[in-house]
Every structure is written in structure tokens, then in C-alpha cells.
Structure 1
Amino acid sequence: MKKAVYFLTLGLLLGFSSCSSDDDVLSNEAAVSVLNKSGSTAKTAVTDPSIGTTTTLNLTSSLLSSGTTTTGGKYWQDTYTSNTNLTVDIFKFSHSATSTGYNYWDGFIVSNVNDITNYGAAGTGGSNNWVAHQWGAMAGSGFGTSSTIAAGTPGTTGDPYIVAYWSSYMDPQSPEGTTFSEANFSNWIKIGDTGLYQVQGLKINIHPWPYYGCLYGDGFARAFTSGDRFELLIYGVDQSGVITNPIVHSLADYSGSSLVMPTGWVNVNTTDLGDLGNVKYLIFQMASTDSDPTYGINTAAYFCLDKLSVKRVN
């Protein structure tokens, strides 16, 4: 979601002050132009498994042992630390951040927050309340958590999961057929080191901010009406570094008689994942029919993922 104008105004009102508490956190998409994607270049050694091995993303509670406490759980302690990537198993997740004068992040973080409260206020510019509460998933916890842990239950947390924020500010549009560079994209996952992989599985969940924004509007986004849709676009990067055609996963769809937005974890179609071919990276972008021709997507550009599974083929 293009929040540059809003957060620049908010930042001026608050003096772009540094933040010491969770409730004071600012997010400023315009900052991405000066970050130069610094977090994307951090080096972390990853070793490829043997050919034929399948690896599934395993997010453990130890990832949040030093996490930042917020309503409903914790989120990654390095969310606002620059030059730091989240690396789990053989997966390296893009991440850019700053905490100089104001706080900003994009890319991927890990969270176990079980909070699905609606913090928006449609028509009143009320999205600022979301900034301190941008850590949730509508499922309430990662895939596999006991069904006795209901989403939104106070005082309970489940398995960790990945929260992603896509900054479209610098991303090339329709990048298929072009050569990939980490520095040019907000949201990518590098798989292994030098090997090639087939994507076997991936689970996606809608984030509370766009969920309630599509339902009611949130000050930036309008409530969805017939014909609207909110989608996740997933690209691969092949052996030559060329970006594949995207597959499209629906997060919110009003093509029929009502708005369809699953709140549980949903499998990305395995046939579609297979169509990505043998890849070194995955790239994620988002699309919404609620977009501005100048500032881009109005729907909050967050999504959640878990259980990425890949098989090394080369």
C-alpha cells in the first residue's frame, strides 16, 4: 500500500522521533528510497542439501526467544535492524529496515502474535492504529498449532509464522523475463546456496490489516465491492537468473455474489507451484483493484506464509 504521503505527514507531526515503545512505532514507505535495500545484502552462509532432499520451512519458538513483546505475542527482535536478514533452514528471507529517526521495515519477519482485532477506522484516516499492531495473521498462529488455540484468544500464542510487507516503491512492475537482482525487489526468498529447487508446497494466510480493510475500508483502502480482488503474485528465478511468469494466489475475491476471504491457512495450488520450474529464488508482489494510478496499491500490502517446502533437483 502506498502510504508515503500519509506517513510523511504523520512523521512531520511527530518530528520523526525515535521510538522506544511498541505503540510509538512509525512506518514510512518513502524511506525505502534512502535505505537502498541495505538489509538485502547481508551475508549468511547456507549449505545446499543433497540432490533429491525435500526441505520444509520449520519455524520454531527459539526464533522469538528474544522477540519484541506486543499484544498477543512476540515479533522478530531484528524487525527494525538494518543489514539483517531472517535465515531459517535453507531459506534466506529479504528484509530492509531502519530505526534512525523513525522505524521502517519491509520484506519478511517472524511472529507468533495471536491478535486479529480490527485496528482500522474506515473513512477517518484511522490506519495509524495498525502500525503498532501489524504483526498478526487471521489464522492466529502458524500452521499446525493445536486447534484448541483459537485466533484472537487473549493470552495465548501458537506456532510462529512469517509476516511479509511488500513495498512496491522500488519494485519493477511485471518483471517476468528480466534478470533478477536482490537489491531491486522488496520481497524475495533465496533457496539454498547454488542449487536449483522445485517448490513442493506453500501455505498462505491473509493478514488482519488487509482483511478488515477489504471488509470495511481503513482510511486508505475502501471496502471491496463486486468485481474487486486482492492477489499475491509469486515469481520464480531460474538457473540463468531470469524471472519466470507469475502464478497468482487469491487473498480476497468479490467476483461472485459475495466477498470471499479465507481466514485459515490455504495451500497454494501445487500445479501452479510446479509451473514455476526449477528455481533459485521466489519473488512476491501484490495486486489490488483498489489502487491509485500515482501512489499504487491502497489495500494494505501484507500477507503471511508458512510451510514452504522445496526439493533440490540440481
Structure 2
Amino acid sequence: MKKVIYLLTFGLMLGLGSCSNDEDLLIDGSASAVAHSGKTAKTAVTDPAIGTTTTLNLTSALLTSGITTTGGKYWENTYVSNTQLNVDIFTFSHSATSAGYNYWDGFIVSNVNDITDYGSGAGPGGSDGWVPHQWGTMAGSGFGTSSTIAAGTPGTTGDPYIVAYWSSYLDPKLPEGTTFSESDFSNWIKVGNTGLYEVKGLKINIHPWPYYGCLNGDGFAQPFATGDHFELLIYGVDENGIISNPIVHSLADYTGSSLVMPTGWVNVNTTNLASLGKVQYLIFQMASTDSHPIYGMNTAAYFCLDKLSVKRVD
């Protein structure tokens, strides 16, 4: 069941054993689905000159009015509908509501330095402890923070970074070759305004909820065993709105002799990024071997990103 909703009857939700971690059916007295807002950017974006490279620069000013939580702050508009996160030339998708329950998907910004395992809940490995603590990254802070700020150190915060939640229930599956629409997808980034861009760099970090879920289970997710894997899928959208084949970035892998889950910021392979071609948008989806055939992934559908770098080419 959707992880980002505060439910007055949370025990009821945990009792629905057939529901996936990432089902988008929301309990607020009745079952209903939240559609993606698909709103256009509230702030006009101007394309830089052709040949210019722009790298995502997340500053502390983005969190001046942020919501204080354990280990830092997260974006003040996280639960505000009809809002999107605009930084530099990048527009990040975001959907939210606070009408009867709190819900969000897409992207937000955070500087939370908290990598505690909140998987306790109603029993060992439960999920409900994560709901108020879904704002972290296993690196502890954005890329570039001084190495003297260790991940999880109480009372310290570092550089901001992006936290993403993928709402898998409404997203088209296997979208490559189809035509993109903002309203059809939970997690997309628009680059610039009308220009075309090549993606030159992107750093990804695993979020604490899926990290500990893959390690220990979380009430929905099972601890990973031999053969399991968890990935981020990244698609490009060209000038005609056609979605590319995805590139695959590993977040957790147990196809060898042990579970591999890097906790630091990892560069997405530059050759893979180049294969996306000239893009106007990036789309992000996820995949896990721990999935329900109807309800989708049991692994918590969060990831973190920083230092997206693009070059305008047209």
C-alpha cells in the first residue's frame, strides 16, 4: 500500500497482506486513485545558448522554508498540490494532496542526514515507521558535501539533494517507442524549454527505505537472496515526444555471491547516458525481482539523484 500516506487506520493497511508497497490505491475512507497532475512549470525557463553545459545546483535556499524533521529539512511544498520543483533549467514532476491524507510522488528536495533503519512497525521489519522518515539518502547528503559530515551524524546537515518517489500504479509499462505526455508519468524531468540536450552526467544514490528493505525486509519487501536485483530505468524523450529504450542503473544486486548496494553517490554510466540521444525530457521508472504480478514492486520505490548535467545541442 502506498507508503507516503499518513493513515489514521494504519493497522488496517498493514493487515491488507495482498497489497504492494507501491500500489497507488489510497485509503481515505474509500479506495481512490490519485492521477498525476501534469501541470506545466510555474516558472518560465529560458534555454541557455547552444553549446552551454548546465549542472543541477541545489542550494540551501531551496530549504529556507522547508519542513523540519529528524536530521534536516525537506521541501515545503511536498504535500501541496499543483506545485513543481524548478531548479536552474530543470523542471521536476511532482503530484501531491493533503485532502484527507498526505500523499506525494515525483521529486522533492531534502538535506536530511538520517540513515536510520525505521523498519520496525507492527512487527520485525514493518513499514509504518518509515512513513514520517522518508526524506533521506544513504550518502547522508548531496554530492560535494565535506567528508567531515558523516552520514547519519545527529544534528548535522549537508548539501541538498533530490528525493524521488515513483508511483508505479498509473505509469505506462514498457513505454519505449510510445509518445510521451506529462500527465501519464509520475517521475519526469523537463530539460530547458524548447531546446534539445545531451545528458552528460548524473549521480544516483540508494534511498534508506529500499536499502534496509533489501537488506532486512520491511513488512512488504522481502530480504534479497541470490538472484534478486533492483534497478532504476531511465528513458529519454526526443523532440517528437518519442520515448527511447531505457538505460538501466543498478541500485541493489544479489546476482553474484553477495548483496551489492553502494551507499555513496554513483555516476550513471556516461556511455549509457549518451545512448539516450538528444532529449527534452527524462523519465524514471524502477524494477525489482521482489514484485507482485498485479500490484507491482514490493521494494520501496524511492531513489535519490544529484548533479544532473546536460549540454544544449539544438
Could you state the TM-score of these two structures normalised by the residue count of structure 1? 0.91
Report the CA distance shift for 1:28/1:104 in structure 2 as closer, same or farther (over 3 A): farther
User: Which residue number in structure 1 is paired with residue 42 of structure 2?
Assistant: 43
Distance 1:187 1:170 in 2: 11
Identify the structure with the greater helix proportion.
1
8 Å contact from structure 1 (residues 39, 85) kept in 2: no
- Work out whether 1:227 is the aligned partner of 2:227: yes
User: Which residue number in structure 2 is paired with residue 286 of structure 1?
Assistant: 286
8 Å contact from structure 2 (residues 41, 86) kept in 1: no
The Cα shift of 1:15 comes to 11
- Work out whether 1:108 is the aligned partner of 2:107: yes
The Cα shift of 1:126 comes to 1.7
User: Which residue number in structure 2 is paired with residue 22 of structure 1?
Assistant: none
8 Å contact from structure 1 (residues 7, 29) kept in 2: no
Alignment of 1:1-314 (within 5 A): 3-4=1-2, 10-12=7-9, 29-31=24-26, 34-38=33-37, 40-121=39-120, 124=124, 126-314=126-314
Report the CA distance shift for 1:291/1:34 in structure 2 as closer, same or farther (over 3 A): closer
Distance 2:100 2:24 in 1: 14
Distance 1:62 1:134 in 2: 21
Structure 2, unaligned stretches of length 5 or more? 14-21
Could you state the TM-score of these two structures normalised by the residue count of structure 2? 0.91
Question: What is the DSSP-based 3-state SS (H/G/I as helix, E as strand, rest coil) of the residue aligned with 2:215?
Answer: helix
The Cα shift of 1:121 comes to 2.8
Q: Tell me the amino acid that sits aligned with residue 30 of structure 1.
A: L
Structure 1, unaligned stretches of length 5 or more? 17-26
The Cα shift of 1:30 comes to 1.9
Q: Tell me the amino acid that sits aligned with residue 147 of structure 1.
A: S
Distance 2:96 2:39 in 1: 10
Report the CA distance shift for 1:11/1:252 in structure 2 as closer, same or farther (over 3 A): same
Distance 1:220 1:125 in 2: 8
Question: What is the DSSP-based 3-state SS (H/G/I as helix, E as strand, rest coil) of the residue aligned with 2:25?
Answer: helix
| Runs of 4 or more consecutive aligned structure 1 residues displaced over 6 Å after TM superposition | 6-9
1:10-32, CA deviations, whole angstroms, 9 ceiling, x for partnerless residues? 5546899xxxxxxxxxx983249
The Cα shift of 1:190 comes to 0.1
Q: Tell me the amino acid that sits aligned with residue 104 of structure 1.
A: Y
8 Å contact from structure 1 (residues 168, 186) kept in 2: yes
Question: What is the DSSP-based 3-state SS (H/G/I as helix, E as strand, rest coil) of the residue aligned with 1:273?
Answer: helix
Report the CA distance shift for 1:254/1:42 in structure 2 as closer, same or farther (over 3 A): same
8 Å contact from structure 2 (residues 41, 91) kept in 1: no
The total of aligned residue pairs comes to 301
8 Å contact from structure 1 (residues 28, 103) kept in 2: no
8 Å contact from structure 1 (residues 231, 252) kept in 2: yes
Distance 2:248 2:35 in 1: 28
